[in-house]
């Protein structure tokens, strides 16, 4: 059984069936079907940088929670809403760039 506090080690990719009418996966991360909202970044990814796609207008609640490997996130100017606790417990996040 995976303990919640250790989920970062295990959630390296999120896969969604292409036929799912509500959600999709892009580069192993969870988005709504229209790719306008990033709902969950795969916290176990080893990447240190992430650029949110230009199609995104919303960052979901707790979407990046506990992403300890990330040091830098690029947020496009299309984003008009950042949910509660979107970046909470991202211990190594040093830079958020808005472009």
Residue ranges making up the domain that contains 28: 4-98
pTM comes to 0.89
Question: What is the mean predicted confidence (pLDDT) over 54-65?
Answer: 96
Nearest to 65 by CA among 99, 45, 95, 41: 41
Asked whether the predicted pLDDT for residue 2 surpasses 70, the reply is no
Q: What per-residue confidence (pLDDT) applies to 11?
A: 86
Tens of pLDDT, residues 3-50: 455 665 678 999 999 999 999 999 999 999 999 999 999 999 999 999
| Cα(11)–Cα(61) distance, integer angstroms | 18
Considering the chain, what is the average pLDDT of its residues? Answer: 92
Question: What is the mean predicted confidence (pLDDT) over 65-77?
Answer: 95
CATH of the domain at 80: 3.80.10.10
Look at residue 15 and give its three-state secondary structure: coil
Distance in Å from the first CA to the final CA of the chain: 41
Could you tell me if 75 and 55 are in contact, meaning their C-beta atoms sit under 8 angstroms apart?
no
- Provide the number of structural domains found in the chain: 1
């Amino acid at each position: 059984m995976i303990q919640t506090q250790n989920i970062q080690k295990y959630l390296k990719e999120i896969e969604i069936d292409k036929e799912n009418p509500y959600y999709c996966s892009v580069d192993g991360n969870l988005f709504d079907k229209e790719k306008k909202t990033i709902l969950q970044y795969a916290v176990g990814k080893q990447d240190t940088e992430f650029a949110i796609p230009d199609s995104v207008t919303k960052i979901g609640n707790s979407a990046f929670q506990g992403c300890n490997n990330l040091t830098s996130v690029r947020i496009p100017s299309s984003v008009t809403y950042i949910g509660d606790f979107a970046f909470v417990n991202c211990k190594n996040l040093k830079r958020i760039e808005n472009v």
